[in-house]
Amino acid sequence: MTVITRFAPSPTGQLHVGNIRTALHNWLWARKHGGRFVLRIDDTDAERSEERFVEAIRRDLGWLGLVPDGEERQSARFALYEARFENLRAAGRVYPAYETAQELDLKRKIQLGRGLPPIYDRAALALTDADRAQYAAQGIAPHWRFRLDHDAPIEWDDLIRGPQHFDPATMSDPVVRRADGSWLYMLPSAIDDAEMAISHVVRGEDHVSNTALQLQMFAALGAPPPAFAHEALLTGSEGKLSKRLGSLGVDAFREAGIEPEAVRALLARIGTSDSVEPIVEADALVDTFDFARFGRAPARFDEEELRALNTRIVHQLPYDRVAGALPAGMDAAGWETVRPNLTRIADAADWWHVVEGPVAATEFDPDDRAFLAEAHRIAGTIDWAGDPWHALTGDLKAATGRKGKPLFLPLRRALTGRDSGPDMAQLLPLIGRERALERLAIN
């Protein structure tokens, strides 16, 4: 079997972190099995779908490195849906219903008052041709429901949740088409999964009941169903479902200086039995990805954990990966020098300013001023083509008797304007002889 997964967002807004996690897991599963990852734009809702969101979805997936192997648009597949709908109608698996939203709400309240489950009573199945003709004469168009087979128990072995069982008699026949002819999510999705030969559907656990209904749709369409994996939903660091997670997306990550490698590394592992690690290469995440490692407890998304992970990721990134984001003039040696001190790539500009100057002036006591005057003298005599830092500090130690912090700290302050930072043995050659002499000449 060829593994084919799909990510099927509606272009009605920006992707949020939950969507991104779903896309990543579909991509990882396809890559693990040498299969295909398809982007399906679910744009059947013409009023709410916007092309700018389609472009944003593509851009966000590209930033994350989740490049689809193909793309489909539901708005281009209406003829297919119409043909399959007509087949189902001819087979009696979809039927017209005429209740208003208010009438259905009243029915539910009555059923609840009687201690009955609030499911649709299938009253529309009792309508005669004359009844339907009367509705048509009044200009009332029907909505359409999919008729569940109450004699066919719904069962599947979920890749995460294990064996699942639903009694269709306890479920309402789902509305699949509105009175204006527009489609709801359920039937077009099942038709597309069948026609596109989707082998695995990976989505949130809030879709479990939809899967139960869609399994009967697959049967009615004469199509084998895909395998299903329903993941626990993300929660915020406080342990509750967070509204912020609904707005946290790629734009927010970029603004915060979070790299795509960090997003992938975190979202690939939270909710699993595997530890979150600063894994830069996607192939390493692919190799260890397995739905058997997922638990049913909510997956906790912690922004602080993401920021800490991002720092560890940045410390591994090679120069070629970051060159386009670095300040003008910073080469590979400069990047490797400042990289251990960064939490974000953008922070490299601060350290490059330390190299190129000017640096903040520091007040020194008389002893340190005398010490730095000697440092200035010695700096003019050492060989700058080799290891100037150790040459400078070695000669200074011999000339002044200083060692440890009294030796190194005044030098760092004079040369960088800071008390801490990158390894001076790497930083001083970047500063160079002329700038170093200028900074040491404090008198």
Query: Which residue ranges are tagged as binding site?
Result: 243
CA–CA gap between residue 334 and residue 313 (Å, rounded): 18
Eight-class DSSP state of 364:
-
Query: 324 — phi, psi (to 5°)?
Result: -65, -15
Cis peptide before 358 (omega within 30 of 0): yes
Cβ atoms within 10 Å of 134's Cβ, excluding its own: 13
The C-alpha angle with vertex 253 and arms to 248 and 255, in degrees rounded to 5, equals: 115
Closest by CA position to 284, among listed 273, 305, 268: 268
Eight-class DSSP state of 275:
P
- For strands 234-235 and 162-166, give the pairing: unpaired
Query: 426 — phi, psi (to 5°)?
Result: -90, -35
Element (H, E) at 244: none
158 strand-pairing partners: 162
Query: Which residue ranges are tagged as binding site for ATP?
Result: 243
